[in-house]
Amino acid sequence: MVELQKDRITRGDFLSFGFIGAVMGAILTIPPAAFVLSPVIKTNVLGQSDVSQDWQMVGPIDDVPDGEPIVIEVDFPIDQIYGNNEVQEQFPDTQKSNEEFAVRSAIWLSWQDGQRPEELQGINGSLTQEQRQLAEENLNILSNICAHLGCPVRWVIVEGEGEFLCPCHGGIYDINGGYIGGPPPRGMFRYPVREVREDGNLYIRHEFDDEDGIPGLTTTRPHVV
């Protein structure tokens, strides 16, 4: 074993170590952290979204039956990594992937309390302003993502009563998406930004009725779709 040689650290040595450490530390921590955390910075801090904020067509409101909901799949285009729009537009004629990426959401549609309003019975052709507004007010547009832990909810009939059931932990919601029982902290997520157009089609945007969980502590979003 070689004898250890413990030289005294001079003031200059100490400052040099400090300088080397500070420069290397700054270069090796700040850019990597920002690199890895960029989605968090973009979404949580700057409030941007990866999902297109354009109107997406859901379908004709005439298809929504009385007394039970129907499920409709809607693709919301998203903009992540290789699905990024600007990246996709580069060299469009080569073999490079140009596939559009979307998050496919199952949307439950039902009438308020399962009752289609009188004025909207047997609609065909174009809708009047009043009818459109009435439809917008009376439609439940619900995400299939359970408000508890995000499992896909289903419509089940229990003892003649229909209800939304989450298969994971047994959360139960009524036809309006309101909370009935089980562990979920709130009702199902709704799409509040909606528009019924003159041709009778429903359009929505990718927004949810977020709410504070424990004020200041937690907020809720579907997070996954």
Partner 1 sequence: MVDWMEDRTGIVTQLEHFLYEPVPKRGAWLYTLGSATLFLIVLQFLTGILLLFYYVPTTDHAWNSVYYIMNEAYFGQLIRGIHYWSANFLLAVIGLHMARTFFSGSYKAPREWNWITGVILLLLVIGLAFTGYLLRWDQDGFWASVVGIKIGSYSPFIGGYVANFLLGGDVAGPATLARFFAIHVWLLPAALAPFIGIHLYLLRRHGEFGNQFEYTDRLAKLHEQQRLEEYARYELDGEEDGAEEDGRNGEDRENGRYSDRE
Partner 2 sequence: MVQNVAGGKAKPVEEEVITEDNVFDKPDETMGFFPGQVLKDGWVALFLLIACVVMSYAIPAPLSEPANTAAVDYVPRPEWFFFFYEQMLMFFPGYTLIAFGAVVVPTVFIVLMFAVPWLDREPVYSPLKRPFAVIVGVLILIVVVLNMLLAVSRIINFPEG
List of residues contacting partner 2 (CB under 8 A): 71, 73, 103-106, 144, 148-149, 151-155, 167-170, 182-186, 213-214, 217-218, 220, 224-225
Site for partner 1 in 95-124 (CB under 8 A): 97, 99, 101, 103
HEC profile for 136-162?
HHHEEEEECECCCCCCECEEEEECCEE
Answer with the entry of partner 1, partner 2, none that 101 interacts with (C-beta below 5 to 8 A by kind). partner 1
* CA distances from residue 174 to 67, 179, 187 in whole angstroms, order as listed: 11, 7, 9
Answer with the entry of partner 2, partner 1, none that 81 interacts with (C-beta below 5 to 8 A by kind). partner 1
Q: Which is nearer to partner 2, 51 or 196 (CB)?
A: 51
Answer with the entry of partner 2, partner 1, none that 184 interacts with (C-beta below 5 to 8 A by kind). partner 2
Task: Show the binding pattern over residues 42-81: x = contacts partner 1 (CB under 8 A), - = does not.
Answer: xxx----xxx------------------------x-x-xx
- Which runs of E-coded beta strand occur in the chain? 56-60, 70-77, 102-111, 139-143, 154-158, 161-165, 172-173, 179-181, 194-196, 201-204, 211-212, 219-220
Q: Is 82 helix (H, G, I), strand (E, B) or coil?
A: helix
Contact call for residues 222 and 189 (beta carbons, < 8 A): yes
Q: What angle do CA 204, 209, 214 make, to 5 degrees?
A: 165
Question: How far apart are CB 102 and partner 2 at their closest, in Å?
Answer: 9
Answer with the entry of partner 1, partner 2, none that 46 interacts with (C-beta below 5 to 8 A by kind). none
**Separation between Cα atoms, residue 179 and residue 84, nearest integer Å:** 37
Question: How far apart are CB 83 and partner 2 at their closest, in Å?
Answer: 14
Which residues of the shown chain bind partner 1 in the complex (CB under 8 A)? 37, 39-40, 42-44, 49-51, 76, 78, 80-83, 97, 99, 101, 103, 145, 148-152, 168, 213-214, 217-221, 223-225
